[in-house]
Structure 1
Amino acid sequence: MAIKKWVIPALLATALAASLAPQAQAHATPKRVVGYYTQWSGYDRNFLVSDLVKNGTAAKLTHLNYAFSFLDEQGKCVSSDPWADYQRPFTAEQSVSGKADEPGQPLAGNLNQLKQLKAKYPKLRVNISLGGWTGSKYFSNAALTPASRAAHVKSCLDMWIRGDLPGLPPGAAKGVFDGIDLDWEWPASEGNAGNVVRPEDKRNFTQLLTEYRKQLLGLTLRTGRSYDLTAFLPAAPAQVDRGFEVPKVFALLTFATIQGYDYHGSWDALTNQQSSIRTPAGDPTSPAYSSQVAIDHYLSKGAPRAKVVMGVPFYSRGWTGVRNENNGLFQPNAGPAPATYEAGYEDYRVLKGQLDKFTVHRDPKAGHAWLFDGTTFWTWDDPVEMKRKGRYAAERGLGGAMIWSLDGDTADGELITALRSGLS
């Protein structure tokens, strides 16, 4: 007997609600703490998955997003770094389990370390994040047609959820990931130079989520497991309005993480905050950016508070050659401050070691801080500001906080400890 077309959406909605129910219950309390671990953390920074155990971070996370998988020109999922993802061998000292990888084992690399991390922390949800700033070029192609959406989703689920990685035995990475995190930067708006952008991206993003839910539901019916579907969404209201059907998007997502940083940086002519909770008094820029501006916009568009997860940074943005007025805030400058890995961008743990060179300034009302030594200015999210941000998310009834990125914290995890304290 044929099923009438109007029955299918009802069946999908019923099954979707059932698949999401365990997650909603599991994360009602405490708040979600979502952290991005980047595949390149193990290179120059030498921050390994095992360091998440050593500094106490893993025990404080509810979700870990592994960044990033890229998309090819046809929109299908590919590994952006096979060596880091599933080929690199780890020594006993480097591994989560304390055992060295053996030659010829089915799975190595970060994915095997994440598998060991999940064995140690069975309540931790680990999701694969797709895209990112440099990996979103072909998202528009993936979302363009019903056929391209179906092919994209199948390729990503085959690779990351079913665990069928190139050159490895079928299912070698099965069980590593519990869901998909979409980091398309940005639908219908320009992100990184060269990205494919189309006006119809807004509608197609919703359709892409629908296809993900359809295929994830099929997996749930076969495996009995629930799968996360999350997305990283922009802070700028103009980008939100241009690229997202907010109520439909949030209905399809387990939750969404909202950009809570990069409001300003060394691309700006004036020094400014990069992650303020509220817009600081005297901010000369327009439009004004802050976490409250972003979150209020999503809520006004119909996003449910419990699914809104506020982003926080474990890094700083900085300028040098800054005019020595107003403690360096809102001042002209000579450009990005010198830094360890990228000019104008520095990990918190690195700056903390240089704190004796700077004076700390705070704006408790706006909820931001900065460092200034008379010529160099760094935004400053320390434990005081992290606890303030966590408290803000809790008091507003939001779904939790998201961290970019976990490699910026100290060896004793002082930032995530402060953030959790504020969320509690």
Structure 2
Amino acid sequence: PAGDGKVTTPTGVTASKVTSGAVVLNWQPSTLTTGDGPIAYKVWSNGQLVATSMGTSVAVSSLLPGQNYTFSVQGYSGTHASAQSAPVSTTTAAAPAQKPVRSAYFDQWGIYENAYYPKNVDTSGAAGKLDVIHYAFANIDPTKLTCFEAVKASDSANESNPNAGDGAGDAYADYQSDYNSGTSVDGSADTWEQPLKGNFNQLRQLKAKYPNLRFTISIGGWTYSKYFSDAAATDASRKTFVSSCIDMFLKGNLPTGVAGDASGGAASAAGIFDGVDIDWEYPGSAGGHTGNHYSPADKQNYTLLLKEFRTQLDALGAAQGKRYILSAALPSGQDKIAQLETDKIGAYLDYADVMSYDMHGSWDAKGPTNHQDPLHDSPADPTTPIAPGTRKYNVDTTLAAYTTGLPEYGIPGGFPANKIVLGIPFYWRGWTGVPAGSNYGLYQSATGPTAAKPLSQEAGLAAWKELNPPAAQTHWDPVTESSWFYDGTNFWTGDTPQAVQARGAYAKSKGLGGLFAFSLENDDASGTMLNSMDGSLR
């Protein structure tokens, strides 16, 4: 297009960095010939809009290896747009050798009490050690059964509220909040009028600095899984739901005017996300949040939902010369795995983040205390086996369920081991009023959950960085290869660097796809846990 003359055409477009899956573009800024206002940019390739940027650089990601691409850049301000720049062509590098996946979740809400920003992913060194970051979480509209944006707090701390997540969302954190030069990744300050601000614009800046780092939008989570069953129930509802999520987060068509803010608009977030992560907790199971909808039909519909996402993501990718990720956070308990078609879902997923944690915690307020994520069974484990079989919760059992199957639970197996990414909790679960017993509080009674910590703000929960267990009070179980911390009254279960190393070694020995963390905001400023996770896979 020739443009309308109100915005000058960007010049000097260059490809400053080219990898197997991304190209970093830089250019000289456009100017406004009349009036004033923010200028943003659209990046085109073969007639397709493949990215937008609020500044004069961007990483176009999810590209195919060894392919020739031609890009041009167009400036725009409101309804005014320039002509497209002179094109620049380049060829992506050959595909690299396969390596284990290192992924982690970035919590949307971490920017508040934790003051954990995308910049922290850079300064802690995490950005250079991760392959994928899952941005958590998008919600499902209760009536339209679509992806949506809103500014409404959830009642996430109230486990007894069946409507805790209804209509909740945080568009302010996503794309409305103003980052200043001190908190932004590239040192630039947002202006109120620019089409995209907040976390999303910071993810874009991270990507320009680390072009091999990919981002997915994670949908659901513990509080936002209530309406998955409804959205997945029919072919029509699946198509509507999937297309809405792809339109909003992959094509980047964010709504404007949410809570009175002008941010958003057509393609304002294009090119940020490299795929979708489905975190349905849990299909066909009453084990999710109070009030969650579930049905026996979820088992088949979950597979069909993944198939629909794969189909629509592939269609968009084919048009753009890209290949998008589809991942899922999957349960670890055999009673919940039994509600999945383990032999079918692997065909649609690039990989699965198996939530191999939260197997025990202070929701069993009186105990017995136990490991959050035991790798192996222990004869000393006092818990009752999970019906209808005779197995307890542990990672060995989880892995068997997905891969070789557990006939006693009706689980066929068949999920590829090399697509299983094992979870590492960057937080601890705790009980108080725990007697020492014969082994520093392990497998003992309790009087209830530990008191809430300042950052977690939830009884029985603490971030790694705020607990920081002293070595003298930290213990190791060689049978389950698990750590715990006991101070004479409080018992905490979680992973130390030693436990992370054991899980990395386990993943390698079993031919698994890698490791993932939940979540980055819980790590300390020097990235102790993430460094351990990365090192364990090398």
1:293 to partner: Cα distance:
1.4
Q: Which has the higher contact order (CA 8 A, sep 6+)?
A: 1
* Secondary structure at the counterpart of residue 338 of structure 2: helix
> Which amino acid in the other structure matches residue 336 of structure 1?
P
1:29, CA displacement in angstroms?
3.2
TM-score normalized with structure 2 length? 0.73
- Tell me, yes or no, if structure 1 residue 237 matches structure 2 residue 334: yes
Residue aligning to 2:470 = 355
More displaced 10-residue stretch of structure 1: 287-296 or 172-181:
287-296
Change (3 A) 1:105 1:203: same
Which residues of 2 match residues 134-213 of structure 1 at below 5 A?
Answer: 134-167=223-256, 168-190=264-286, 191-213=288-310
**1:107 paired residue number:** 196
Unpaired runs of 5+ in structure 2?
1-61, 67-93, 150-168, 257-263, 386-391, 405-412
Q: Name the residue aligned to 2:115.
A: 46
C-alpha displacement of 1:20: 11
Structure with the bigger percentage of strand: 2
User: Are the aligned partners of 1:96 and 1:113 in contact in 2 as well (CA < 8 Å)?
Assistant: yes
Residue by residue over 1:225-245, the C-alpha shift from the partner in whole angstroms, topping out at 9 and shown as x without a partner, is 000011111001121112x11
Name the structure 2 match of 1:262.
Answer: 358
Q: Aligned match of 2:379 in 259, 271, 281?
A: 281
Alignment gaps of 5+ in structure 1 = 1-18
The 4+ residue runs of structure 1 with deviation greater than 6 A are 19-23
Q: Deviations over 1:59-106 (max 9, x none)?
A: 100000000000012320123200001101111110111111122111
Kept in 2: contact 1:336–1:343 (CA 8 A): yes
Match of residue 218 from structure 2: 129
- In structure 2, how many angstroms separate the alpha carbons of the residues matched to 1:85 and 1:120? 20
Secondary structure of the 1:369 match is strand
Deviation of 1:224 (Å): 0.8
Check conservation: 2:375, 2:480, Cα contact below 8 A.
Answer: yes
SS of 1:165 mapped into structure 2: coil
Q: Are residues 1:290 and 2:394 paired?
A: yes
Instruction: Tell me how far apart the structure 2 counterparts of residues 255 and 216 of structure 1 sit (CA, whole Å).
Output: 15
Aligned to 2:481: 367
Separation in 2 of the partners of 1:96 and 1:26? 28
What count of residue pairs does the alignment treat as equivalent? 402
State the 1:212 CA deviation: 1.0
How far off its partner does 1:22 sit? 6.2
Question: Is the contact made by 2:344 and 2:414 (CA closer than 8 Å) also made in structure 1?
Answer: no
Please list the CA deviations of residues 163-186 of structure 1 after superposition, one character each: whole Å capped at 9, or x if unmatched: 011102200000110000000011
Over 3 Å counting, the alpha-carbon distance change for 1:27 and 1:272 in structure 2 is farther
Shift of the alpha carbon at 1:199?
Answer: 0.8
Q: Distance in 1 between matches of 2:201 and 2:378?
A: 44
**Greater Rg over alpha carbons, structure:** 2
Q: Are 2:442 and 1:344 equivalent residues in the alignment?
A: no
Q: Percent identity?
A: 43
2:172 aligns with 83
Name the SS of the counterpart of 1:77 in structure 2: coil
CA-atom RMSD in angstroms: 1.7
How far off is 1:364 after superposition? Answer: 2.5
Match of 1:220 among 314, 317, 326: 317
Letter in 1 for 2:273: F
Per-residue CA shift, 1:243-284, capped at 9, x if unaligned?
Answer: x11121011111111011100000122111001211233001
More helix by share: 1
Is the CA contact 2:430–2:461 (under 8 Å) kept in the aligned structure 1?
A: yes
> How does the TM-score come out when normalised to structure 1?
0.92
Aligned mate of 2:186, from 97, 109, 113 = 97
Find the aligned partners of 1:312 and 1:328 in 2 and give their Cα distance: 23
Query: 1:384 and 1:38 mapped to 2: Cα distance?
Result: 25
1:56 matches 2:169: no
CA contact (8 A) 1:20 1:254 kept: no
Residue in structure 1 matching 2:431, options 319, 325, 343: 319
2:446 is the counterpart of 1:333: yes
Task: Report the Cα distance in structure 2 between the residues aligned to 1:120 and 1:229, rounded to whole angstroms.
Answer: 24
The verdict on how the C-alpha distance between 1:26 and 1:317 changes in structure 2, with shifts beyond 3 A counting, is farther
Larger displacement relative to structure 2 (363-372 or 327-336):
363-372
The change in CA–CA distance for 1:93 and 1:20 in structure 2 (over 3 A counts) is closer
